[in-house]
């Protein structure tokens, strides 16, 4: 899938989604939001894609919303932003809800919606040159792109509000210390590290990944007992699934499990 501002390629069962407006820092406009939603649908549906990586073209991940394009809408800016966020939020929902691991390769500035998008990833790897900033309150706006959902869960409420109120910019190392990033790597090693992780995960039990993701996300809304009940039912179901049977058999036979067969 080669569109104008979002591209999707597939390598070794890894879907690579690239935000492709490097001339404006991969700023998100209506067209990008539409194409991102389409890419998310394709990634969630295609069987040959087992892991999804999202990154930005050039030397930035995404500077966030394209304020210049928004301002051009004049008095229609409110309805325009509802359209932009409708596509963006549906894209993020597809990415977050799919069984496949969703990995962010942050190769530079992640600001505003760009930072929100990074926070929505299951795993995030960042180059040492990366910067993270929410940026919304500085211009009198509030977060979108799931930022108000994931950020407090990642860093806690007080730190999340600090980032919003003060427009504090985090270095890649600080973002890692705060739990926004899993690992910081040298700029020239980012893609090698991310693809290594993605290709390894692509060989794994995709449905088990998806159910684990759901368990973790839903745990925030459950009591201890209700969550353990979900764990019990799901574990029993997974043990009788094709993935579970293969995984158990491989362990007992002292071999690597083959989750790609069939």
Contacts of residue 25, defined as CB under 8 A and 6 or more positions apart, other chains included, come to: 58, 60, 62, 63, 109
Q: Phi and psi dihedrals of 100, rounded to 5?
A: -80, 140
What is the pLDDT at residue 220?
Answer: 87
> What pTM was computed for the model?
0.95
pLDDT number for residue 80 = 97
Predicted local confidence at residue 2, as pLDDT:
54
pLDDT profile of the chain (262 residues), mean per 10 = 84 97 97 98 97 97 96 96 97 97 98 98 98 95 96 97 97 98 97 97 96 93 95 96 96 95 64
Q: Where are the domains of the chain?
A: 6-202, 206-252
Query: What confidence score (pLDDT) does residue 136 get?
Result: 94
144: annotated active-site residue: yes
The verdict on whether 218 is a catalytic residue reads no
What CATH architecture does domain 6-202 belong to? Alpha-Beta Complex (3.90)
pLDDT at 261: 77
Q: Which pLDDT belongs to residue 1? A: 53
66, 80, 144, 188: which is the annotated catalytic residue? 144
Residue 118 near residue 61 (C-beta atoms within 8 A): yes
Catalytic member of 89, 122, 177, 188 = 89
Q: What is the pLDDT of residue 102?
A: 98
Q: Give every strand in the sheet of 170-171, ordered side by side.
A: 109-111, 131-133, 170-171
């Amino acid at each position: 899938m080669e569109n104008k501002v979002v591209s999707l390629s597939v390598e070794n069962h890894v879907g690579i989604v690239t935000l492709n407006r490097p001339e404006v820092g991969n700023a998100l406009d209506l067209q990008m939001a539409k194409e991102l939603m389409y890419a998310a649908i394709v990634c969630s549906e295609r069987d040959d894609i087992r892991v999804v990586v999202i990154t930005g073209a050039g030397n930035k991940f995404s500077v966030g919303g394209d304020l210049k394009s928004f301002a051009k809408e004049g008095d229609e800016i409110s309805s325009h932003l509802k359209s932009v966020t409708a596509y963006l939020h549906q894209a993020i929902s597809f990415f977050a809800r799919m069984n496949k691991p969703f990995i962010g390769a942050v190769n530079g500035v992640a600001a505003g919606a760009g930072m929100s998008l990074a926070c929505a990833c299951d795993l995030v790897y960042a180059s040492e040159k990366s910067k993270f900033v929410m940026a919304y309150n500085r211009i009198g706006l509030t977060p979108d792109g799931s930022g108000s959902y994931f950020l407090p869960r990642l860093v806690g409420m007080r730190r999340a509000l600090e980032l919003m109120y003060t427009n504090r910019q985090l270095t890649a190392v600080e973002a890692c210390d705060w739990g926004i990033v899993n690992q910081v790597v040298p700029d020239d090693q980012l893609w090698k590290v991310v693809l290594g992780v993605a290709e390894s995960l692509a060989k794994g039990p995709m449905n088990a990944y998806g159910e684990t993701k759901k368990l973790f996300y839903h745990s925030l809304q459950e009591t201890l007992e209700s969550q353990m009940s979900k764990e019990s039912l799901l574990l029993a179901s997974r043990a009788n699934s094709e993935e579970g049977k293969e995984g158990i058999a491989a362990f007992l036979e002292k071999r690597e499990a083959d989750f790609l067969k069939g």
